[in-house]
């Protein structure tokens, strides 16, 4: 639906993923209505998928599988599904208000009619902040599965991991305005959102500590999923620390809408969420295809990506602090060298993903036959069935412990 707007008169929606009003209402191309429709469809499918996940987890666990025995990946998805059900309807609400402003003469976001564009930002970020955690929580789950496998030790502090994930999910609802420190909030608001945001560092710190401690004195091997998992921990922590810097309202007045923010969210979403996706794909690929992937090629993919993303995104911290703004078509001359470095890094990253495509195709078509267990230290029910998993896995529900 959204891709079809590329071919429409007036062009595709051109107001960025945050689609702030009035850019997305008064000044939007006509295709904005398609965008709203697409967001509604996407929201409905997310909500229905989440209801499915929650109902499955609550009702269809194997006998003996108590909540506190569930794999971390299942736990993170369980919590993510609740977040989705809570915030996707709010997104649906905000695009509906846009639709009414554009076509039915209401003034939710139009100052001329008694509305307020800042209201848009509040409603949007009430959805938007939980949304970024929706992207990262399953990544936490993947890493929490992979680390114990390759460190050959159980996950350190399992229950604290569950509670930390739940606290992060709860806190995500009360920090949205840290995306908009500079709109002119009262000082009480700035302080509240600043302290609430800083609080998120605590459960996140617990998780990083647990991951590191899981590896401590483990008999580690460094297959590709493990490399991605370790890189995730290091680079996500860098992103987390720049996040703590951004959470401080007075400092944010300098960082707001600069490349520092761009560096921050790439470190948490590319080196964070994307690395965890690769980590999970390499981890479960033998289970999906029944073949082992090409380890040499996969490691090449990892190292190229690792070098590429850091070359691309690390210099953005510096240009951001030096004052280069986001979302500009051209930049001042003094930022040219760092931007060239970022461009080189981006090309390395982009082309390296072709290696990934080759690895996956090779793995599907050929490769060493995978055993049921696949990884030496893998725990969990999926490793007790054949690789690839048969169409019907458990004729009798397995008894857990």
- Name which of 393, 364, 183 is nearest 288 in CA terms: 364
3-state SS class at 14? coil
**Does 111 help bind another protein (rule: CB under 8 A)?**
yes
Please, what is the minimum distance in Å from the beta carbon of residue 26 to another protein?
6
CB closer to another protein, 3 vs 188:
188
Stretch that binds another protein, among 6-14, 107-115, 215-223, 251-259 (CB under 8 A): 107-115
Q: Which stretch binds another protein (CB under 8 A): 9-17, 116-124, 147-155, 385-393?
A: 116-124
Contact between 395 and another protein by CB under 8 A: the answer reads: no
**φ, ψ for residue 325, nearest 5 deg:** -75, 160
Does 321 bind another protein (CB under 8 A)? Our answer is no
47 binds another protein (CB under 8 A): yes
Distance CA 225, CA 124 (A): 35
Does the footprint of another protein cover residue 134 (CB under 8 A)?
A: no
Q: Binding to another protein by residue 89, rule CB under 8 A?
A: yes
In terms of CB distance, is 179 or 301 closer to another protein? 179
CB of 236 to another protein, least distance (A): 29
Tell me whether residue 54 or residue 244 sits nearer to another protein (CB atom): 54
Kindly tell me which of 29 and 243 has the beta carbon lying closer to another protein: 29
- According to DSSP, residue 30 is labeled T
**Binding of another protein by 50 (CB under 8 A):** yes
Answer yes or no: are the C-beta atoms of 132 and 59 closer than 8 Å.
Answer: no
Distance separating alpha carbons of residues 5 and 3, to the nearest angstrom: 5
Give the Cα separation of 130 and 171 in Å (integer). 9
Cis peptide bond prior to 179, omega within 30° of 0 = no
CB nearer to another protein: give 50 or 258: 50
Helix axes 187-215, 158-171, angle to 10 degrees: 160
Of 54 and 269, which has the nearer Cβ to another protein? 54
From 185-193, 233-241, 268-276, 369-377, span contacting another protein (CB under 8 A): 185-193
Q: How far is the CB of 310 from another protein (least distance, A)?
A: 39
Strand partners, 258: 325
The site string for another protein over 151-180 (x = CB under 8 A, - otherwise) reads ------------------------------
Q: Is 24 a binder of another protein (CB under 8 A)?
A: no
Q: Which stretch binds another protein (CB under 8 A): 151-159, 181-189, 290-298, 362-370?
A: 181-189
Span of 90-98, 141-149, 262-270, 298-306 interacting with another protein by CB under 8 A: 90-98
Sequence-distant (6+) residues with CB within 8 A of 159 are 68
Site string for another protein, 350-379 (x = CB under 8 A): ------------------------------
Tell me if 90 contacts another protein by CB under 8 A: yes
Nearest in space to 180 (alpha carbons), one of 221, 124, 233: 124
Q: Which residue has the tokens 């070359």?
A: 311
Residues 45, 126: Cα–Cα separation, whole Å: 20
Distance CA 262, CA 314 (A): 10
Tell me which DSSP letter residue 332 carries.
-
Q: Are 194 and 249 in contact (CB under 8 A)?
A: yes
* φ/ψ bin of 283: left (φ > 0), alpha (ψ from -120 to 50), beta (otherwise): alpha
- Binding residue for another protein (CB under 8 A) from 66, 104, 184, 327? 184
Question: Per CB under 8 A, does 51 bind another protein?
Answer: yes
Q: Which of 2, 12, 23, 119 binds another protein (CB under 8 A)?
A: 119
Minimum Å gap between C-beta 173 and another protein is: 11
- For the record, the structure tokens of 291 come out as 């073949």
Helix/strand/coil percent split, the chain, to 5: 70, 0, 30
Q: Which two tokens stand for residue 325?
A: 């703004």
Residues 6+ away with beta carbon under 8 Å from 45:
none
When binding is defined by CB under 8 A, the residue of 157, 189, 323, 325 that contacts another protein is 189
Residues that bind another protein (CB under 8 A): 22, 26, 47, 50-51, 54-55, 58-59, 85-94, 96-97, 108, 111-112, 116, 119, 122-123, 126, 184-186, 188-189
């Amino acid at each position: 639906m959204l891709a079809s707007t590329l071919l429409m008169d007036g062009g595709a929606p051109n107001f960025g993923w945050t689609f702030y009003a009035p850019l997305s209402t008064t000044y939007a191309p006509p295709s904005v209505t398609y965008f709203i429709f697409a967001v509604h469809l996407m929201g409905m499918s997310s909500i229905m998928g989440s209801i499915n996940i929650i109902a499955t987890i609550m009702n269809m666990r194997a006998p003996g599988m108590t909540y506190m025995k569930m794999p971390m990946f299942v736990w993170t998805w369980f919590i993510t599904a609740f977040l989705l059900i809570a915030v996707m309807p709010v997104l649906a609400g905000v695009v509906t208000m846009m639709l009414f402003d554009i076509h039915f003469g209401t003034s939710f976001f139009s100052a001329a009619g008694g509305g307020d564009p800042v209201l848009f930002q509040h409603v949007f970020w009430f959805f938007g902040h939980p949304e970024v955690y929706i992207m990262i929580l399953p990544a936490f789950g993947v890493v929490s599965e992979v680390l114990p496998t390759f460190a050959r030790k159980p996950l350190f502090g399992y229950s604290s991991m569950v509670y930390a994930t739940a606290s992060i999910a709860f806190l995500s609802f009360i920090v949205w305005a840290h995306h908009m420190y500079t709109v002119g909030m009262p000082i009480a608001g700035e302080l509240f959102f600043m302290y609430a945001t800083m609080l998120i560092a605590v459960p996140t710190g617990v998780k990083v500590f647990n991951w590191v401690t899981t590896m401590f004195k483990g008999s580690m091997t460094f297959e590709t999923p493990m490399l991605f998992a370790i890189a995730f921990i290091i680079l996500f922590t860098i992103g987390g620390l720049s996040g703590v810097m951004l959470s401080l309202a007075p400092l944010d007045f300098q960082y707001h809408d600069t490349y520092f923010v761009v560096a921050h969210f790439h470190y948490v979403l590319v080196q964070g969420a994307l690395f965890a996706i690769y980590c999970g794909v390499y981890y479960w690929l033998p289970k999906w295809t029944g073949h082992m992937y090409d380890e040499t090629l996969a490691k090449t993919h990892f190292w190229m990506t690792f070098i590429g993303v850091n070359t691309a995104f690390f210099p953005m911290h510096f240009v951001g602090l030096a004052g280069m703004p986001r979302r500009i078509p051209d930049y001042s001359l003094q930022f040219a060298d760092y931007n060239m470095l970022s461009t080189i890094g981006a090309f390395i990253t982009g082309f390296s993903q072709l290696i990934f495509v080759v690895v996956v195709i090779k793995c599907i078509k050929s490769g060493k036959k995978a055993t049921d267990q696949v990884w030496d230290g893998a725990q969990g029910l999926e490793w007790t069935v054949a690789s690839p998993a048969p169409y019907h896995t458990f004729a009798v529900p397995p008894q857990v412990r």
